[in-house]
Amino acid sequence: MSHRAGFVNIIGMPNAGKSTLLNALLGEPLAITNPKAQTTRHRILGLINGPDHQLVIGDTPGILEPQYGLQERMMAAVDEALRDADVLVVLVELRQRPDRSQALLDRARRAGCPLLVLVNKVDLGGEDEVLEACQRWQEALPTAKVVPVSALHGFHVDELRQHLVQAMPEHPPYFPKDELSDRNMRFFVAELVRERILALYKQEVPYSCEVVVNSYEEGSTLTRIQADIIVMRESQKAILIGEGGRALRRLGTQAREAIERFVGTKVFLDLKVKADPDWREDKKKLRNYGY
């Protein structure tokens, strides 16, 4: 029996719904999601496995003009996704216009593989608006296949998954068939803590934070985790901790509950907050943090 396998990489502007699409394709909440822009910082690979196929789905950070070192590394992850894709998915919002998406178009046109433009969030408009949006993107990228979808509500997701399997070349699996992602448990624990930071804190605080898991000890009934939250300023540290430590306790409780759902055991979570003014610019630190 022949076997198909390949890389399907998703690119798009911030908040286009890339992580929601990845989760919908997988049927699992693998990537964190949040209405705030720049939720995704890393390239995350999710695996869809079947007896005769393996889809390696790559979620990427939203395309932006980098303002500091961290964002430069995020855009490097996007450019890496262009190079190894067997199919490049260009995810756009229903009301997003090609003439205001030049950075996205430039990357799509550089890709040396088939393009699939997904017009997302079609549940927000009527049939005529959806047809007009698809036509605009077909004109902007004439070689692409353009499909309307709703990642949040699952519209056309099953058909999309089947289409992607058929578009893959014959190849043995790239990863073991019992895995869901290329990332380890520490990565997802850090992401779940960061997801709660995005949900609970405002303004610049979530964008100034990095979560580092220092220890992860898995037991049969209890998983012990110690993690540091790195911020840029002492004032941000004070905001994260809150008066009498109340804000940090709330964060810890919500993060612990999310991690327990993910790992399937009780969790003891110890969070500490530390200030490091230059972590977003220091190349060595960014490498240590996985960027």
Q: How confident is the model at residue 10 (pLDDT cuts 50, 70, 90)?
A: very high
Question: Which tens digit of pLDDT belongs to each residue from 148-173?
Answer: 999 999 999 999 999 999 999 999 99
Kindly state whether residues 200 and 234 are assigned to the same domain. Answer: yes
Q: What is the pLDDT of residue 194?
A: 98
Find, among 2, 23, 25, 3, the residue nearest to 116 by Cα: 25
Query: Is 134 domain-assigned?
Result: yes
Q: Are 10 and 22 a contacting pair, CB within 8 Å?
A: yes
pLDDT at 25 over 90: yes
Q: What is the pLDDT of residue 132?
A: 98
Query: Is 205 domain-assigned?
Result: yes
Kindly state whether residues 153 and 118 are assigned to the same domain. Answer: yes
Question: 3-class DSSP state for residue 4?
Answer: strand
Provide the residue type at 142 as one letter: P
CATH code for the domain of 212: 3.30.300.20
DSSP symbol at 170: B
Kindly state whether residues 27 and 117 are assigned to the same domain. Answer: yes
Kindly state whether residues 96 and 27 are assigned to the same domain. Answer: yes
Question: Which tens digit of pLDDT belongs to each residue from 57-71?
Answer: 999 999 999 999 999
Question: Which tens digit of pLDDT belongs to each residue from 211-266?
Answer: 999 999 999 899 999 999 999 999 999 999 999 999 999 999 999 999 999 999 99
Question: Which tens digit of pLDDT belongs to each residue from 176-199?
Answer: 999 999 999 999 999 999 999 999
Kindly state whether residues 138 and 260 are assigned to the same domain. Answer: no
CA distance 208 to 280: 8
Q: What is the pLDDT of residue 19?
A: 97
CATH code for the domain of 14: 3.40.50.300
From 132, 167, 202, the end of a domain falls on 167
Q: How confident is the model at residue 1 (pLDDT cuts 50, 70, 90)?
A: confident
Question: Which tens digit of pLDDT belongs to each residue from 110-123?
Answer: 999 999 999 999 99
From 167, 193, 209, the end of a domain falls on 167
**269 CB neighbour count, 10 Å cutoff:** 21
Q: What is the pLDDT of residue 243?
A: 97
CA distance 26 to 18: 12
Query: Is 97 domain-assigned?
Result: yes
Tokens 């500091």, located at residue: 68
By residue range, what is the domain housing residue 197? 185-288
Segment 17-38 mean pLDDT? 95
| Mean pLDDT, the chain, integer | 97
Query: Is 173 domain-assigned?
Result: no
Q: Domain tally for the chain?
A: 2
Question: Which tens digit of pLDDT belongs to each residue from 91-113?
Answer: 999 999 999 999 999 999 999 99
From 137, 167, 197, the end of a domain falls on 167
